[in-house]
């Protein structure tokens, strides 16, 4: 059996693990009133589910034994959760580089292409998580120096201003349900 098949199983396991982490972390973000972060985590959980499914489709053998190094990531505050996810993604990107190299050596072109494409998705997630972390740490999540538009994620109400209202005038949901939008 080639090494790429084992790497596909590992990638499947990482994606499955991370799908669950994003789901758990979305609940924590909601508890903290960070609905934009909750929605982002829910979106990323769907991406991870798709990644896992795509890796699963490329696994050809029914019996594959792999060593899987599991790094436990507990549910903490949203800031700590984001930091953990950033570290996890950076670790996975290095693994994917190795997986791509091995797949290329073994002429596993479909697997190599899949690893590369999904690595790009991870790069996007990494960028978004770093931006969100910066906004939270710099207290800019619900502030802007100039007037911008804010959209309520619950009802779609849009308002222009430097900050969103404490409560949505249309549906009454708190400020945490607003996200910045650009019209």
Domain positions in the chain: 3-137, 148-181
Please report, rounded to a whole number, the percentage of residues in the chain having pLDDT higher than 70.
Answer: 99
Mean pLDDT of the chain: 92
pLDDT for res 1: 61
Q: How many CA atoms lie within 13 A of 51 on its CB side?
A: 30
Looking at residues 5-10, what average pLDDT do you find? Answer: 94
Cβ atoms of 82 and 38 within 8 Å: the answer is no
Nearest C-alpha neighbor of 81 from the set 139, 20, 140: 20
Q: 3-137 falls under which CATH superfamily?
A: Ferritin, core subunit, four-helix bundle (1.20.1260.10)
CATH code for 148-181?
Answer: 2.20.28.10
Nearest C-alpha neighbor of 89 from the set 6, 22, 38: 22
Instruction: Report pLDDT digits (tens) over 129-153.
Output: 999 999 999 988 887 777 789 999 9
Q: Do 3-137 and 148-181 show the same overall fold?
A: no
pLDDT for res 113: 96
Confidence of residue 26 (pLDDT cuts 50, 70, 90): very high
Orientation of helix 78-105 relative to helix 3-31, angle to 10°? 170
pLDDT for res 130: 96
Looking at residues 104-124, what average pLDDT do you find? Answer: 95
Instruction: Please tell me the least confidently modeled range out of 48-62, 86-100, 111-125, 130-144.
Output: 130-144
pLDDT for res 68: 75
CA distances from 34 to 44, 146, 159 (A): 15, 22, 18
């Amino acid at each position: 059996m080639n090494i790429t098949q084992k790497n596909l199983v590992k990638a499947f396991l990482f994606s499955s693990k991370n799908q669950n982490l994003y789901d758990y972390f979305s609940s924590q973000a909601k508890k903290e009133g960070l609905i934009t972060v909750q929605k982002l985590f829910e979106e990323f959980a769907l991406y991870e589910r798709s990644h896992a499914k795509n890796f699963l489709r490329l696994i050809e053998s029914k019996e594959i034994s792999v060593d899987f190094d599991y790094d436990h990531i507990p549910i903490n505050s949203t800031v700590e959760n984001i930091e953990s996810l950033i570290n996890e993604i950076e670790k996975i990107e290095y693994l994917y580089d190795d997986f791509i190299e091995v797949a290329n050596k073994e002429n596993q072109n479909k697997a190599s292409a899949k690893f590369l494409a999904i690595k790009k998705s991870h790069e996007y997630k990494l960028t978004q998580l770093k931006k969100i972390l910066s906004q939270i740490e710099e207290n800019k999540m619900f502030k802007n120096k100039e007037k911008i538009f804010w959209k309520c994620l619950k009802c779609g109400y849009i308002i222009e201003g430097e900050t969103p209202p404490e409560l949505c005038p249309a549906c009454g949901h708190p400020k945490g349900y607003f996200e910045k939008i650009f019209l």
